Amino acid sequence: MLANFDFSVITGSLSYLFLDGMRFTLTLTALAAIGGIALGTLIAMMRLSGLPVIPLVAKTYVNLFRSLPLVLVIFWFYFLVPYLGQWVTGADRPMTVGAFTSSLVTFTLFEAAYFSEIMRAGIQSIPKGQAAAAQALGMTYWTSMRTVILPQVFRNMTPILLTQTIVLFQDTSLVYVLSITDFLGAASKVAQRDGRLVEMYLFAAVVYFAVCFVASLAVRRLQKKIAIIR
């Protein structure tokens, strides 16, 4: 098999693979991670609030998305959201939802369920005396979270949040099922065009492994650097 391995197929497609494919993958990963962490933090705060109904709504959201296959959610948003938008707005035809927008919304909402559990664990790890002290100073729940609790949580949970972002980077390859030109989609198109499936899929696997391995090492070093010695 390796005797017939054609490296020229890979080298001749590098600009397309990285400038088009990997750029899309990294952009989607970064934006979905930022949106997922922001929404996940809000959901975590909702789950821990003492207000009626709100914790139940947040818990239902988390359990729903964590119980669904990601690829099913991707298809659902891509094919059904335009019709839901038509129904809500009363338009004559389904709303136009681009592939990138659909993917971004999907990953943001889906990953928020996982990021929220990370943030909830981080909030619960902070000694309760700090929240009580903030309340004694007259701070509201949301103010104490924003100024006292969350800064510590983000510092403590950054390595875990980054680890989940690495998982998100891997999961973005699922947009391939929508024929989107992410890195895997670009590799697949080159493979089918040139009839060199082994070369392109093997190269894609090596790139995904290299990126995730290096990122994991960086997260491990960061974890040791910011670890709090008790």
Q: 6: Cβ–Cβ under 8 A, 6 or more apart, which residues?
A: 196, 199
CB atoms within 10 A of CB 42: 14
On the 0-12 / 13-18 / 19+ scale of CB atoms within 10 A, 175 is buried
And the tokens for 59?
Answer: 């818990």
Task: Report helix angle 183-194 to 23-48, nearest 10.
Answer: 150
Q: Are 144 and 126 in contact (CB under 8 A)?
A: no
The DSSP symbol for 227 reads P
Mean pLDDT, the chain, integer: 88
Q: 26: Cβ–Cβ under 8 A, 6 or more apart, which residues?
A: 169
| C-alpha pair distances (Å), 6 with each of 3, 62, 74, 187 | 9, 46, 34, 14
- pTM: predicted TM-score of the whole model, two decimal places: 0.89
C-alpha to C-alpha distance for 58 and 33, rounded to whole angstroms: 19
Q: How confident is the model at residue 225 (pLDDT cuts 50, 70, 90)?
A: confident
C-alpha to C-alpha distance for 148 and 144, rounded to whole angstroms: 5
CA neighbor of 118 nearest in space, from 170, 77, 66: 66
Task: Give residue-wise pLDDT tens across range 49-72.
Answer: 878 899 999 999 999 999 999 999
C-alpha to C-alpha distance for 98 and 199, rounded to whole angstroms: 31
Task: Give residue-wise pLDDT tens across range 120-179.
Answer: 999 998 888 887 888 888 888 778 888 888 888 998 899 999 999 999 999 999 998 888
Task: Say if residue 209's pLDDT is above 90.
Answer: yes
And the tokens for 22?
Answer: 């990997």
Percent of the chain with pLDDT over 70: 97
Q: Are 115 and 157 in contact (CB under 8 A)?
A: no
| Whole-number pLDDT of residue 2 | 60
* Arch. (CATH architecture) of 23-183: Orthogonal Bundle (1.10)
